[in-house]
């Protein structure tokens, strides 16, 4: 009995965490999976019932907007993560140096991260408003940036960059401060220049931080709804509609919860697959 109690103690200690995971993770996923197999439309209650895989068949073979939103989501994530990583790394390297006013510079670099998506949208809508804002100083006072098919994507990318770059800068700066200074001194003694020190000392030590930051930010950008919804509403002509934003439109605006759940499950499976694949290929946490 004493041995049984000793073996049971660890499970008793983790049971509150397991219960919370079941309540806030397993149950919502199971609920969405259940409704994805149902006809559940508040505007057509007489048609509610078991649908099987019909929602998924419609999604894959009849819904062109699903594929369009999925394509834009991929384009959005790749553009944002690539640019945020490069700019965040550059800012982290700059504020990691010793110079007068470094504390103020760090505060300014990190401050956009504290701004909510809706407030960020309000700021940039004012900047993009024709006749006022930044366009007036660029000599384009009458340009409707957010209503133009050719300019709306760069405009929303720049808006999200302003908010997302500080996240990379914070994590990468923490990684830079964990690199022993002796490694740079030894590399300098061996004749390594700034570029070679960055390549052979800095990047290897930042590998896990970069993998973690890009994975987390990819998931967040994939699920980005607040900024795009308030900035463009998915327009013009649905060209800035991500898959989660399309889910919101179908499930919340159109009241089609069954089909919205099927779209949600598709996004969940895509994120899960690429997250596991990315961690596997990047060998996150492994020694080299």
Q: For the chain, what percent of residues have pLDDT higher than 70?
A: 94
3-state secondary structure of 49: strand
Q: 129 and 206 in one domain?
A: yes
H or E stretch including 50?
A: strand 49-50
The answer to whether 83 touches 136, Cβ cutoff 8 Å, is: no
CATH number for 271:
1.10.3720.10
**Average of per-residue pLDDT across 130-146:** 65
Residues 76 and 164 reside in one and the same domain: yes
Q: Give, as one character, the DSSP assignment of residue 39.
A: E
Whether residue 98 is contained in a domain is answered as yes
Q: What average pLDDT does this structure show over 224-238?
A: 87
Residue 39 has pLDDT above 70, yes or no: yes
List, for residues 200-221, the tens digit of each pLDDT value.
888 888 888 899 899 999 999 9
**pLDDT score at 133:** 61
**Domain enclosing residue 270, as ranges:** 64-282
Average pLDDT along the chain: 86
pLDDT digits (tens, 9 = 90+) for 45-64: 877 888 889 999 999 999 99
Residues 98 and 207 reside in one and the same domain: yes
Region 241-264: mean pLDDT is: 90
Please compute the mean of the pLDDT values over residues 95-104 and round it to a whole number. 84
Residues 78 and 203 placed together within one structural domain of the fold: yes
The mean pLDDT value for 65-74 works out to 94
What pLDDT score was predicted for residue 219? 92
* Statement to judge: residues 2 and 94 lie in one domain: no
Task: Kindly state the percentage of the chain with pLDDT values over 90.
Answer: 35
Q: Are residues 123 and 12 in the same domain?
A: no
In this structure, is residue 51 part of a structural domain?
Answer: no
Residue that is written with structure tokens 């950008």 in the block: 221
Q: By the 8 A CB rule, do 254 and 42 touch?
A: no
Q: How many whole angstroms separate alpha carbon 28 and alpha carbon 31? A: 5
Q: Are residues 99 and 216 in the same domain?
A: yes
76 and 188 fall within a common domain: yes
116 and 219 share one domain = yes
Interval 38-45 mean pLDDT = 85
Give the separation between CA 103 and CA 256, rounded to whole angstroms: 50
User: Among all chains, which residue has been given the structure tokens 């159109």?
Assistant: 254
pLDDT tens figures, 149-191 = 888 899 899 999 998 999 999 999 988 888 888 888 888 888 8
Q: ω into residue 39 within 30 of 0, thus cis?
A: no
Residues 39, 46: Cα–Cα separation, whole Å: 10
In a domain, 219, yes or no: yes
- Token pair in block for residue 22: 């079941």
Cα gap 277→281, rounded to integer Å: 6
- Which of 231, 238, 65, 243 shows the shortest CA–CA distance to 157? 231
Asked whether residue 210 is domain-assigned, the answer is yes
- CB atoms closer than 10 angstroms to residue 271: 15
Domain count, the chain: 2
Calculate mean pLDDT across residues 3-27.
Answer: 84
pLDDT at residue 136 in the model: 64
Pair (21, 106) in one structural domain: no
Q: Is residue 121 part of a domain?
A: yes
Residue 120 falls within a domain, yes or no? yes
User: Is the residue at 37 inside a domain?
Assistant: no
Question: In this structure, is residue 214 part of a structural domain?
Answer: yes
Pair 234, 118 in one domain? yes
Q: Report the residue count for the chain.
A: 288
Same domain as 152, residue 16: no
């Amino acid at each position: 009995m004493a041995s049984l109690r000793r073996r049971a103690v660890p499970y008793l200690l983790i049971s509150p965490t397991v219960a919370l995971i079941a309540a806030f993770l397993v149950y919502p996923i199971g609920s969405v999976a259940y409704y994805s197999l149902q006809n559940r439309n508040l505007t057509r209650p007489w048609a509610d019932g078991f649908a099987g895989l019909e929602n998924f068949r419609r999604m894959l073979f009849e819904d062109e907007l699903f594929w369009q939103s999925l394509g834009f989501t991929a384009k959005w994530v790749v553009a944002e993560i690539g640019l945020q990583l490069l700019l965040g790394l550059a800012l982290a390297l700059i504020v990691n140096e010793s110079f007068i006013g470094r504390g103020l510079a760090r505060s300014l670099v990190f401050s956009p991260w504290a701004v909510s998506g809706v407030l960020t949208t309000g700021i940039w809508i004012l900047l993009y408003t024709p006749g006022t804002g930044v366009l007036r100083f660029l000599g384009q006072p009458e340009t409707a940036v957010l209503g133009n098919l050719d300019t709306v994507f760069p405009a929303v990318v720049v808006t999200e960059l302003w908010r997302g770059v500080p996240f990379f800068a914070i994590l990468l700066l923490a990684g830079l401060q964990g690199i022993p200074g002796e490694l740079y001194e030894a590399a300098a003694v061996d004749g390594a220049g700034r570029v070679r020190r960055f390549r052979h000392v800095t990047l290897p030590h930042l590998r896990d931080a970069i993998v973690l930051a890009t994975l987390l930010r990819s998931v967040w950008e994939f699920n980005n709804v607040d900024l795009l919804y308030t900035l463009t509403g998915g327009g013009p002509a649905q060209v800035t509609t991500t898959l989660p934003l399309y889910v919101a439109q179908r499930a919340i605006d159109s009241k089609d919860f069954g089909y919205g759940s099927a779209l949600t499950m598709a996004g969940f499976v895509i994120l899960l697959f690429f997250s596991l694949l990315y961690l596997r290929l990047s060998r996150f946490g492994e020694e080299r």
